[in-house]
Amino acid sequence: MEPKTTKFKRYQEAARKDVERAFGVLQGRWQIVEQQARAYSVNKVKRIMLCCVILHNMIVEDNGRVITEFEEELIANTVPPTRTWSERCSTQLRMYGELRDRRTHHELRNALVEHVWNPPEHGRQR
């Protein structure tokens, strides 16, 4: 395995452990992520995760161990568009197709490998 791929795999494993731990806490506390999120829009997933972070922060606030500061602009009061059943189904099928596209997967993975190998100057890591 070449050094770029080895370094990327090491970073990916560390990030995966962090994400799995975070989702484990959220799932254990509120059973939020027991089902697949594919049916949700990206915006809805963001809102669910932000809600979980806010709830977590409310619980641990006294300990001074909050995950992130609350940013009100992340949950702007916008009215979601009303869609018909067929529009929702076609959007779901399109999103599923995008998620399963091998070419896109490989392009994104290769871009991440390069980013980890050559991070931007302001984000240099050891």
Amino acid letter, residue 119: P
Q: Considering the chain, what is the average pLDDT of its residues?
A: 76
Closest listed residue to residue 38, CA positions, set 81, 99, 108, 82:
99
Whole-number pLDDT of residue 34: 67
Give the whole-angstrom CA distance, residue 83 versus residue 91: 10
Whole-number pLDDT of residue 126: 47
Give the whole-angstrom CA distance, residue 21 versus residue 15: 10
Whole-number pLDDT of residue 78: 64
Asked if residue 67 has pLDDT above 80, the reply is no
89's tokens:
């189904």
| pLDDT (mean) for 40-69 | 70
Task: Quote the percentage of the chain above a pLDDT of 90.
Answer: 0
Amino acid letter, residue 56: H
| pLDDT (mean) for 21-32 | 74
